[in-house]
Structure 1
């Protein structure tokens, strides 16, 4: 049943229920078949060999239902039946003769092979059927099918889609050829028959023809048929295979497109702006009526001209630079000067976009801005400076009163993507550009500010014409009359999109780094689960023994209170030790925000060593530690820094598992660095790190370990960097690798920590492989 659960793992909903029904049915049928076979074999006096053969047939039939796991389970049940019912002694799970054991083993092997092959064939057949179904669906979706004419057997084969397109079924070749011609539209029949006949002549053209089909029900379809002929050694056609594509919708779309082009030409010719369509060499491909009127040419005169023939405001270098800009951006707006046929010139505003149509094309929408230029020239120099400053700073200015907007700067129009030629926008138009989720908040704050006669910054989002989201920050200042009433409000509009996106990106990167670190920590703790379980058993077993010792003392001599107190103290100590182990596991697994605390690096490293003790023991690795004489206090996130140490120790253990000669020794040292901080060294006696890998092992997703994802050391380095330290690697002596990291020291000390020096210098934490235990 475990195999069945594993097989169904991951399936959900109706598929899981359906799969469960099939597996259950297969299991019940198999058990029923084995029971019936056992009964028949017993009644007929079959021996072990013939019954086994009978079982194999039943298992092969049941395997056709598809579940290999159920077939394996039934094979094991069948082997048990042979042992119990047909191998002496009958009725016992025991075999006396080696020949019977060999027969049962042979049966089990044979049944497994047969069921595996049967299941594989069943799945292969299902796959072929599935692929055929997909191919049929693809033909129906694409209206694309195949046909074949066999000139030897005089048969025609059509795919289902070809039959559907013609509205018929395949028949004998002579009849089909006649009926096929009858199905072709009379106007296309002659050319189609000629193309078919030409393709059957040696050296003739390839069969490729488009024609109309009139179905028996009267509907018409347009098809394109292509085919190749296979010839024998004497130059006679053997068979012809081809494809048929229903292109009715394509041709209808082409007709509609031509009609749409006609309508579009009418619209364009009545536009108030001039349209120019240029190719990649700046040659005019097409124009509208307005372009002809503004320049004084007719359409045939303009088509074929180079843009420099009428555009006198840009030189060749400017045109080249402008073209490069257009290819980078979706659309570009600029101003230039056009010259008419009579030699007069006028200023224009040009908006250019590019697209692909038989090569690169540039669509230029040109507007005569003579009147606008006259108005611009009337503005003072200070207004020009202000406009330029606003453009550079992406800051727009607006003024409004109780009746609506009084003034909008050019940059304000650009930010809100409104056309200044359409005049000042009303409040409703502006509010419609505000993002729907921010609209009510903006309206209420503006009302509140006016009511409370105050001004404060307001940030919100607006939605551009193409759906682009912008973040806008506005600041408003009311102007008061002599009586104290608000007369006008001046507001600035600043595009802060880039700033907002940068903030959001920084937050996403921070969150991603936190998620990756947490995922890595969970992965490591998952690998250590077995070791932790073993680790917790030690203090629990010791506490149990101490409790029993105290009970024996009470029974033998209740007056020995000192011994009883000592035994109970040992129970409490071991229970606290188990609690500490569980607490360390919870600290490493829980998703807690980073926190800064003062702690002793030596104690933190000791806890990590205790955490991985069983893993190190299983790998026959001895451990040497040498800690600083005094406690080494640092400020940081204890769990994150323990994660770094844990990752380095596990990497060292894994590296040494490939070492078969020489001792496996893990060294962990702490010392005060020359810069005043604390240095932690984790060394191993493994094969070391190849020079070409040493420079890359801290890069994200770079790994030399099979099955690794390459994030462990990258996360470790980011943690150490965040604590103001440094992580690097060196070659070990005489072999192996050493990973080192530094942490800044702190002058602070926890209030409950004494300054007593540590009593530990260099020590061997684990003995040799034969006597591994904590000291």
Structure 2
């Protein structure tokens, strides 16, 4: 009777509990008293007493029956809820297993840990109890303090737990786990449980380690930059190139490594790359420079490649110091310039006879005119008009001789290459003037077919003259056995309309032997008995 009343009281129906308790107690007392009096012959049980007894039983039995029915109904609802909960848990377990996740719960009050499947590494099945100390013992010794600090922070702080740690299996093997969880608190802000998920990230960690080793082994400087332009990873070669330690450079803006004069444009270039990320060379066609910690600069080549990660898109930069290459290129250029200068001197040496003849003509004219003037003066009958004409001829011959000397000097002068805007037709005209004496000595005709209104080109006029001189003199040599009437060299210029200008030299000699055509540009290869074999090699280098 007391259990029944207490059960009804706990379910919240206090009035029914009082009715049941009082009714049953009164009915029992009444029945016992009636039985004693009847046995003693004091009373005979009238029908009214039976009616009262039945009414009492009904009063007591009604709420009792209602409670029995309600208990049966609640039991059925509980069975349905438990079935739904079991189905939900089964689906969650299947989903977690399909995603390679482990669902876990830590009852903080009881210090019991539960998981959806076997806890890899600890060898503890989900049906066995696992307390926090046993879980902690399954961790790698170097990670225990880290995990303990993370859980303490979650329990005593914001309730969020996140950790990446290693689990050591009983067989000694280690694997990585990423865990996230959230603490549940009661009304008084006391932690009662923590629920979360764990995922095996061993393969990811191994891939990251391989990536790190690959980056460290690279002979180039490797820099990983996020979308905001912050450096998140560098290798040891980057430290050597720029003079920074990892601790100094990681987290700083990548513009730190860019020379001051280029920094204003770099952020926009970086944003443009992230808008259309693709592997490519940075600053194609431009000379790039990087800035060291001490402020010095050095020439570089930079390759860019996008790197997609769960944290977003990063750009992987490979920086190559090309200082040695640039110095080698400058040295090679110096050698080429020296060889070109020697070639020009050799050309002038080959043309010395014709140049002497060309120079002798104006000098002879000067001497003749001066002698004629002296004779006129000695006779005393010279007029001012005649003196003016004689002096004009001397000036013209002197200018002609000066032009020859300046041309020779320009060809043999040693100096740096000077690139400038020039007319190709003017270069051809200068070359024709230089070779004209040699052409007369060799009985060769020089013809020019120059297209008018050629666009200007950029280059060194002296080097262009050297190219044409080599080709024209080779043409003269190629026609030694050609009949005099057919000895002609044609120099032509043309423009194809899309910005390309071409100059060509044609002779009417025997042509280049078939077996020599693949080697005519090789250094020291020549088909002439007195040649050095450097002319066309230098022409190609220019």
The TM-score, its normalising length taken from structure 1, stands at 0.30
Q: Which has the higher contact order (CA 8 A, sep 6+)?
A: 2
The TM-score, its normalising length taken from structure 2, stands at 0.42
For the pair shown, which has the larger CA radius of gyration, 1 or 2? Answer: 2
